[in-house]
Structure 1
Amino acid sequence: MGSICSFSYINCVLLVTLRSKQVFCETSRFILLYNLLFADTAKQVPNLLLYLLPFFRIKVPYSACGLLVVLSVLTESISPLTLAVMAIERYVAVCHPLKHATIFTVRSTGMAIAVVWTFSLIHILIRLFMLVYVIVKIHPNLFVIDICSREAIFFAPIFHDFEKAQASTLFLSVGSIIIGSYIGVALIARSASTDKVSAKKALQTLLLHLVQLCLVLTAPMFSTIIIAMARIVGRLTIIRIYSVGFVFFIILPRCLSALIYGLRDQTIRPMLLQNLCCWWRCSNNLK
């Protein structure tokens, strides 16, 4: 619980930091980072509620649980799609530096973010139709017995097939973009005229993108584990497994952006550390 609050605190400070200077609002990679961080942070609020409900043994109606689950997946597709745009931006920055300022303007970056959110909206509409189907089939006053989760709401096999298909499509498409960008940067890095330092940093960033993508898209695997374990273990054990897995598979991957980008970037890091120290002192003074 403490680690979740700490990560959320750092995410919020970084969001404020990315709006504290004009350069952060006019640079494409910082705009994309803000979008990624905003999506990850927004996902934490319903996720935290889903994490706490089993501990307090709170029974909620299927309709309320379904709404909470839909909110928890509201920005689920945004992170991997934003990672794909960020990978393309790094590729253009290293391989076509003279065209970068023309291709990745504030306007074009905003349009790319709009496309990302549109795809995510389509995903949410599908989820809402699925939720309506569940509520129609089940009495709306029926309470969730064990755990309020996507597994408890979207329990039919067709829903699990949708989860796997959606995760596989995202992983293959975004993974291909990141790997393609990595190969392109790696090839251009061999050129004598290339900035070796920038190319090396871009390669490291793209590798981190790929690792983060793998972590973000582990939710369907987590769902499969929970469903399989629920058939062979008791309620208390499954709640413990769910709690531990929820932190590592659902919460932690969404909290890595601040650590990966906020602390690595030489432009952001001084401002982030300064704001963290300032906020920490203010919170201590209030105590």
Structure 2
Amino acid sequence: MSYVNQSQTLNVTSEQKYQGLLEKVLLSTLIAMPCCVFLFINGTMLFTLRSKSVFRGTSRYILLYNLLFSDTVLLALSQFLYTLAASKIMLSYPVCGVFTMLSILTDEISPLTLVVMSLERYVAVCYPLRHATIITIRNTGVAIIVVWAFSVLNVFIRVVLLLDFPFSDLESLQMTDVCSDIDMILSPMSDIYDKAYTGFVFLSAGVAVISSYIGVMIAARSASTDKASARKARNTLLLHLVQLGLSLSSTINNPLLLAISKTVSRVVFARMQNFLYVCFFILPRCLSSLIYGLRDQTIRPILVYYLCCRLTLSPQPKLRPKIHGVN
């Protein structure tokens, strides 16, 4: 009798493990497939922005390229770390630190670039006569360098705080859990800095974009302002504000996961973790290329052309009748 009960228990345990493995494979596939599709779309968008001189010589397209580049790199890194976590592959602290810092670096580029893009639209509407002299290719390059330098400084400070942790006291540098940014916050000082920096970026970027939007709204009421241009700029800034909110939504991922982990079971927590990963990491990084690419009438036909693998839908020309004596 005990043998029968033990056999039934083993069968139930095996079935649960099989269901868990099957669910994990299905979730990983459902997440990886759209991620790969959007990586292809982002890569095509990046190629499109470098294919024509009009894109390479216009400041807002250069800023858009910088935004899409950082989003694409972050999307690839996030999917790579997600695959490692789903496969239960443990990394060492130095390797995880490299991937985490690269993710933080590219994650900070997006909101800062959106701020610069909003200021560019503000200058275009409020100071149209000075736009060509203020928003030059050189000044745009300087702004991009400042954005990257500010983000690199943030990563450098995080690395310094990370090195303050006594790694020599550990038996091994091999991690006992999957690699994530929350696992690389190893000291109270790192946690305080992370919250302070996130709050600073969230507040300053939000104020900059909202102020630009209000400035364009005020300028739109002026009789000397081009109404159509002001309306387009207002819609663009509103789009920047939505995109900024999506980009910064990843900052609430870790606190939300910590709150959820205290109230639900481990299985439900794993499912919620996958859902939040899609909402906070995949979707915000995928929408940029679709929103800006399909909305811009200059980019749209070229982007669709490359997405369709350079296939043209124009009808074939009719054959002309052959006339004797004419070549």
Could you state the TM-score of these two structures normalised by the residue count of structure 1?
0.91
Is the partner of 2:86 in helix, strand or coil? coil
CA contact (8 A) 1:82 1:113 kept: yes
Which residue, out of 182, 196, 200, partners 2:227? Answer: 196
Report the CA distance between 1:137 and its aligned residue: 5.9
Aligned to 1:69: 100
Instruction: Establish whether residue 220 from structure 1 lines up as the match of residue 220 from structure 2.
Output: no
Aligned to 2:301: 270
Instruction: Establish whether residue 23 from structure 1 lines up as the match of residue 54 from structure 2.
Output: yes
Instruction: Establish whether residue 110 from structure 1 lines up as the match of residue 141 from structure 2.
Output: yes
Which residue, out of 99, 113, 126, partners 1:82? Answer: 113
Q: Which moved more, 1:210-219 or 1:82-91?
A: 210-219
Identity %: 50
2: CA distance, partners of 1:212 / 1:236:
32
CA contact (8 A) 1:130 1:154 kept: no
Report the CA distance between 1:126 and its aligned residue: 1.4
CA contact (8 A) 2:39 2:76 kept: no
Higher relative contact order (CA closer than 8 Å, sequence separation 6+): 1
Instruction: Establish whether residue 91 from structure 1 lines up as the match of residue 115 from structure 2.
Output: no
Report the CA distance between 1:37 and its aligned residue: 0.8
Amino acid at match of 2:202: F
1: CA distance, partners of 2:223 / 2:190:
52
2: CA distance, partners of 1:131 / 1:18:
38
1:107-146 to 2 correspondence within 5 Å? 107-134=138-165, 136=167, 139=170, 141-146=172-177
Amino acid at match of 2:88: R
1: CA distance, partners of 2:285 / 2:169:
32
Report the CA distance between 1:187 and its aligned residue: 0.9
Report the CA distance between 1:249 and its aligned residue: 0.8
2: CA distance, partners of 1:22 / 1:256:
25
Which residue, out of 15, 20, 37, partners 2:68? Answer: 37
Report the CA distance between 1:231 and its aligned residue: 3.8
CA contact (8 A) 2:49 2:55 kept: yes
Paired residues in the alignment total 281
Unpaired segments of 5 or more residues in structure 1? 282-287
1:210-249 to 2 correspondence within 5 Å? 210-249=241-280
CA contact (8 A) 2:126 2:215 kept: yes
Alpha-carbon spacing, 1:279–1:27, altered in 2? closer, same or farther (3 Å) = same
Unpaired segments of 5 or more residues in structure 2? 1-31, 313-327
CA distances 1:182-203 after superposition (whole Å, capped 9, x unpaired): 1111111112332222111111
Aligned to 2:215: 184
CA contact (8 A) 1:51 1:243 kept: no
Instruction: Establish whether residue 207 from structure 1 lines up as the match of residue 207 from structure 2.
Output: no
Is the partner of 2:105 in helix, strand or coil? coil
Aligned to 2:13: none
Which residue, out of 96, 101, 104, partners 2:132? Answer: 101
Alpha-carbon spacing, 1:219–1:157, altered in 2? closer, same or farther (3 Å) = farther
Report the CA distance between 1:109 and its aligned residue: 0.5
Alpha-carbon spacing, 1:172–1:19, altered in 2? closer, same or farther (3 Å) = same
Aligned to 1:13: 44
Q: Which moved more, 1:3-12 or 1:190-199?
A: 190-199
2: CA distance, partners of 1:74 / 1:279:
34
Instruction: Establish whether residue 154 from structure 1 lines up as the match of residue 159 from structure 2.
Output: no
Report the CA distance between 1:26 and its aligned residue: 0.7
CA RMSD of aligned residues (A): 2.0
Q: Which moved more, 1:204-213 or 1:155-164?
A: 155-164
Whichever of the two has the greater Rg, that structure is 2
CA distances 1:1-51 after superposition (whole Å, capped 9, x unpaired): 211111111110000000011010111100110111111111122211111
Alpha-carbon spacing, 1:51–1:24, altered in 2? closer, same or farther (3 Å) = same
2: CA distance, partners of 1:135 / 1:8:
38
Report the CA distance between 1:242 and its aligned residue: 1.8
Aligned to 2:323: none
CA contact (8 A) 1:50 1:148 kept: yes
Amino acid at match of 1:203: R
Which residue, out of 70, 81, 86, partners 1:55? Answer: 86
Aligned to 1:285: none
